[in-house]
Structure 1
Amino acid sequence: MREHVIVSSTTDSETTARELAAQAVEARLGACAQIVGPILSVYRWDGEVHAEPEWRVEIKTAADRVAPLVELIKEQHNYEVPEIIATPIEGGSAEYLEWLVEETRGG
């Protein structure tokens, strides 16, 4: 996995999305997070197709923080099986990526 990662999840409300984002940043498991929504998610669950509004949380982090961040999301999430996807960041501003790593370390 690359050194820098975006971890994404979706939630059923803006409030829950804000809470997940704040918990990740407060715990220094993410440098920052954006919330996108509402979006419409279409998915199959328990044999039925659903279409529901959701909010996406995108958390920028260092690769060595992904595993504990995934655990935090699982523990705090209200879904039985939350979406949690880690996407490597292939490049970008060196200064921003340096800041990203610094913010996931102790103060």
Structure 2
Amino acid sequence: MSGFIVVLTTADSKETLVRISKFLVERKLAACCQISSPIESFYIYKNKFENTKEWLCIIKTHKNLFDEVQKVIKSLHTYETPEIIQINIEDGDVNYLNWMKEALKL
């Protein structure tokens, strides 16, 4: 079974990620979303060094839904350029992957 992915995004508020997560799961675009405790991010944006507290959201979905997931993140996110990274799931527990398949709009 292949085609499942994890999408990562970060935000400066937990509330933004809760809104995105609820939207994705309710519409069966994500099987599960997990929001981590605050993390500290270091980066350069618009030629300026930034050090910010952010929350990380791990979105479990399928590659066939990635474009829709990306559109939702961009439409509900507060950042001008949100992080949206796709990571392929190479393998996993067959029962969990079957659950993901049932939970998604495939």
User: TM-score band (shorter)?
Assistant: over 0.9
1:8 aligns with 2:8: yes
1:24-103 counterparts in 2 under 5 A?
24-103=24-103
Matches of 2:62 and 2:45 in 1, distance apart? 32
Deviation at 1:4, TM superposition (A): 0.4
The farther-off stretch of 80-89 and 13-22 is 13-22
Deviation at 1:57, TM superposition (A): 0.6
Give the number of equivalent residue pairs. Answer: 105
Matches of 2:78 and 2:36 in 1, distance apart? 18
Matches of 1:23 and 1:41 in 2, distance apart? 25
Matches of 2:84 and 2:36 in 1, distance apart? 15
Deviation at 1:37, TM superposition (A): 2.1
Matches of 2:54 and 2:37 in 1, distance apart? 7
Partner secondary structure for residue 29 of structure 1: coil
Q: % of aligned pairs identical?
A: 35
The farther-off stretch of 16-25 and 3-12 is 16-25
Partner secondary structure for residue 53 of structure 2: strand
Partner secondary structure for residue 33 of structure 2: strand
User: In angstroms, what is the RMSD of aligned CA positions?
Assistant: 1.2
Deviations 1:12-32 (A, max 9, x none): 011111111111111111000
Partner secondary structure for residue 37 of structure 1: coil
Unaligned 5+ runs, structure 2: none
* Equivalent in the alignment of 2:17: 17
Deviating beyond 4 angstroms after TM superposition, the runs of 4 or more aligned structure 1 residues are none
